[in-house]
Amino acid sequence: IDLTSPMKQACFQLHYHILTPGIDVLPEADARLIEAAKAATQTSYAPYSNFCVGAAVLLENGETVCGSNQENAAYPAGTCAERTAIHYANAQFPGVRPLAIAVAARKASENGFLEQPISPCGVCRQVMIETQARFGKNLRVLLYGEKAIFELETASVLLPFQFDSASL
């Protein structure tokens, strides 16, 4: 880096895998986790957006904890599926490290899931980063779509300029 220049340019390279959905491309544990996330969309409360999101967290002790989005007429009072699942996992199994989280989405008015994976919102990304920091290890992320699955080895890929305890 040229420190004498008043303007510097940098870029991120984000590494992730794009998988074609199918039982043979994923390890069995990942396939089960994605199926749990898909099933969790059935418990969404989404009367305003009709956008049902499910998340499933695989814990180090082998437990899987699911969550779904829960909307509210006052939109900021709603909660995303990812945060629901992560916070519920932390509440039910304090001190047990989450290994991976899977996320799936569907429109309530249509059959099937979205063709392409959805990406977590910024708040959910921050919660994933905090979860990684809390346990000192990466949180794998699986984002499901009917035509593609994105596999990220770390939630850091989702939030390259992260705010963590080092920022305080």
Which residues form the catalytic set? 82
If we measure between CA atoms, which residue out of 42, 94, 41, 86 comes closest to residue 64? 86
As a whole number of angstroms, the distance between CA 123 and CA 22 comes to 30
As a whole number of angstroms, the distance between CA 64 and CA 80 comes to 17
Other Cβ atoms less than 10 A from the Cβ of 18: the count is 12
Number of helices and strands in the chain (H, E): 3, 6
- First vs last Cα of the chain: how many Å apart? 26
Other Cβ atoms less than 10 A from the Cβ of 151: the count is 18
- Percentage helix, strand, coil for the chain under 3-state DSSP, each rounded to 5: 30, 25, 45
